[in-house]
Amino acid sequence: MEEVAAFSVDQADQETILIRHCAEAHRYAFFIVSQDGRRILGDGVTIGNNATANDGADFAGEARLFAEAAARERNLID
């Protein structure tokens, strides 16, 4: 059986990375900010899909971990 990714990157640039939960279509926007001379993932915004059984906040922690890894791969954060 092929494993399906839980999240995908919808958009990534120097200021923001937008993540989508593949199964439920919740979206998460994380801002890339400078702190002490380093680029880090700052605050995030959850854009939930109200047509699903689960709240978008239920996946926010996993979304942030995925976003950090994806941003590092793209050299958007240090």
Query: For 49-66, what is the mean pLDDT?
Result: 94
Q: What is the pTM of this model?
A: 0.91
Bridge partners (DSSP) listed for residue 43: none
Segment 4-13 shows an average pLDDT of 92
Q: How far is Cα 51 from Cα 26, in angstroms, rounded to an integer?
A: 10
Mean pLDDT (the chain, rounded): 94
Tell me the mean pLDDT in the region 11-31.
97
d(CA 41, CA 35): 10
- At 74, the amino acid letter reads R
Average pLDDT over residues 27-49: 96
pLDDT of residue 71: 98
pLDDT (0 to 100) of residue 73? 98
User: Average pLDDT of 19-45?
Assistant: 97
Contact 41, 73 (CB under 8 A): no
